[in-house]
Amino acid sequence: MTDPLLPPDLRALQAEAAEFARRLRSAAAALEWEPDPRQRVPWDLVEEASAKGWRTLGLPRDWGGGGASVLALCVLVEELAAGDMGFAVLLDQTLKVQRILARLAGPGARARVQERFLPDPRGVLAVCFTEPETGSDYVLPHPGFRFATTARQHPDGSFTLSGTKRFISNGADACLLVVFACTDPGQSAESGTSAFLVEPDLPGVEVERIHEKISQRTINNATLRFHDTPLEPWRLLGPLHRGFGSAREILKESTIEAAATTLGTARAAYELALAHARARVQGGGPLADHANVQARLGQMHAQLEAARSLIWRAALAVEDESYDHRLGASAKLVAADIAVAVCLSAMELHGGLAIMRDEAAIERCLRDCLSFLHSDGAQDTLALRIARASLGAS
Q: What is the DSSP string of 280-324?
A: -EETTEEGGGSHHHHHHHHHHHHHHHHHHHHHHHHHHHTTSTT--
Q: pLDDT 10s digit of each residue in the chain, 394 long?
A: 678 889 999 999 999 999 999 999 999 999 999 999 999 999 999 999 999 999 999 999 999 999 999 999 999 999 999 999 999 999 999 999 998 899 899 999 999 999 999 999 999 999 999 999 876 676 777 777 889 999 999 999 999 999 999 999 999 999 999 999 999 999 988 889 999 999 999 999 999 999 999 999 999 999 999 999 999 999 999 999 988 776 667 678 899 999 999 999 999 999 999 999 999 999 999 999 999 999 999 999 999 999 999 999 999 999 888 899 999 999 999 999 999 999 999 999 999 999 998 888 999 999 999 999 999 889 999 999 899 999 986 5
Q: What is the dihedral of CA 322, 315, 253, 68, to 10 degrees?
A: -110
CA quadruple 53, 83, 46, 105: dihedral sign: positive
Rounded to two decimals, what is the model's pTM?
Answer: 0.95
- With residue 217 as reference, give the H or E element that holds it: none
Nearest Cα residue to 81 out of 187, 215, 185, 229: 215
* 27-38 per-position pLDDT tens digit: 999 999 999 999
* 85-144 per-position pLDDT tens digit: 999 999 999 999 998 899 899 999 999 999 999 999 999 999 999 999 876 676 777 777
Contact of 87 with 45, CB cutoff 8 Å:
yes
Strand-pairing partners, residue 151, are: 161
Distances (CA, A) of 351 to 118, 154, 231, 362: 46, 63, 55, 11
pLDDT at 252: 84
Task: Tell me the backbone φ, ψ of residue 238, rounded to 5 degrees.
Answer: 80, -170
Q: How far is the C-alpha of 327 from the C-alpha of 317, rounded, in Å? A: 9
Distances (CA, A) of 104 to 71, 235, 315, 347: 22, 10, 22, 44
Amino acid identity of 50?
A: S
Q: How far is the C-alpha of 265 from the C-alpha of 256, rounded, in Å? A: 15
Task: Tell me the backbone φ, ψ of residue 120, rounded to 5 degrees.
Answer: -90, 110
Q: How far is the C-alpha of 165 from the C-alpha of 153, rounded, in Å? A: 20
In order of their start, the domains of the chain are 8-117 (1.10.540.10), 125-243 (2.40.110.10), 248-391 (1.20.140.10)
